[in-house]
Structure 1
């Protein structure tokens, strides 16, 4: 299973991965303008490398270009959240349904173990922060769908924008414990090979998450 802990091949790859992480985790401010000169100094690379990274980030929907303004990090807005989560609810619901049919017993056991590890961390007072890739509950289910088109749309398209909302606005407070319970029920449905229930529970889980984040944006 591929993880987002990619091994950078070039300086451009390394810069892209680092900028993507910095945007998702808020070290580069949402809505902020991107200066090629400042970023080239920050990452100790040429402006051409920064420009390539910005172009790649635009394909991930983390950066937008506007005439007479230049490149900016996307803003986290109620409207953007609603549109993104409408797509996410549909596609991840489909992924959960397919995962119920296509994940192996061993993969389901690994998913259950992952959830238990997350539970132990939160029980010890740690926030519910999941790195991108294999240690992310949602990523595991996306990959478990075994549908390459769906995986590509989610992981190469909206995955990191979703993570930006989740990391910056959705991983703390009372929502943490209820999200755990929802994850547990989704895994149980997948383990029972009940695709219809898995999809319904995933869609409901994402709707609840959207509502939780939306309150923080209003």
Structure 2
């Protein structure tokens, strides 16, 4: 089945989910804005059922909240929620690095260096997020525990991660800071010293 046909064959609720998700992440739908089933169904030209299914998935993924008696609302991220996500992501990355003792190949190090350059040249938050995601997954990639790596990837692929990136202004100062933090991590990776690398990773997670 061609790729386009396969996409069209997906449940309608999945298409609606992706559209609302993108609008929340990109700021088209403001934090805290009500997500009214009837209005969304009318706007997208569908019935309420796929919209309701999509909204429930958004709640599950952390992009929306359901308040009994009031309805659905776009997520407003709190500092504690961001810290919870960072805590889980950081723990998984550290666990992976500990497994192989931060012993990277020349090819792995070269890829990390390339990703730093891509992040520094980012023109928008989505490009920066893509490069940052790839950099951190690349730090963990040599670990042999496949389940650990899949779990880490699923954390990064949660749309809330993109929402966090979008919540911070993108300017040259941020690009320079992220690139500098990643270069310090890369230097520790080149030295093959997990005890130096991991504290830097801990600090980096407070900023990415």
Q: Distance in 2 between matches of 1:77 and 1:186?
A: 28
Post-superposition offset of 1:63:
1.6
Q: Does residue 130 in structure 1 map to residue 127 in structure 2?
A: yes
CA displacement 1:6-34 (0-9 Å, x = unmatched): x8451333322222222122221112221
Post-superposition offset of 1:107:
4.2
1:25–1:164 contact (8 Å) kept in structure 2: yes
1:108–1:191 contact (8 Å) kept in structure 2: yes
2:63–2:74 contact (8 Å) kept in structure 1: yes
Q: What residue number does 1:50 align with? A: 51
* Matched residues, number: 197
2:34–2:72 contact (8 Å) kept in structure 1: yes
Larger deviation: 100-109 or 58-67? 100-109
Q: How does 1:14-29 map to 2 (within 5 A)?
A: 14-29=15-30
Name structure 2 gaps, 5 residues minimum. Answer: 1-5
TM-score (norm 1): 0.71
Q: Which has the larger Rg?
A: 2
Cα distance change of structure 1 residues 149 and 19 upon mapping to structure 2, 3 Å threshold: farther
Cα distance change of structure 1 residues 39 and 154 upon mapping to structure 2, 3 Å threshold: farther
Q: What residue number does 2:14 align with? A: 13
TM-score (norm 2): 0.74
1:63–1:74 contact (8 Å) kept in structure 2: yes
Post-superposition offset of 1:204:
0.8
**Which of the residues 129, 154, 157 maps onto 1:156?**
154
Post-superposition offset of 1:75:
1.0
2:16–2:50 contact (8 Å) kept in structure 1: yes
Name structure 1 gaps, 5 residues minimum. Answer: 1-6, 211-218
Q: Which has the higher contact order (CA 8 A, sep 6+)?
A: 1
Q: What residue number does 1:73 align with? A: 74
2:118–2:131 contact (8 Å) kept in structure 1: no
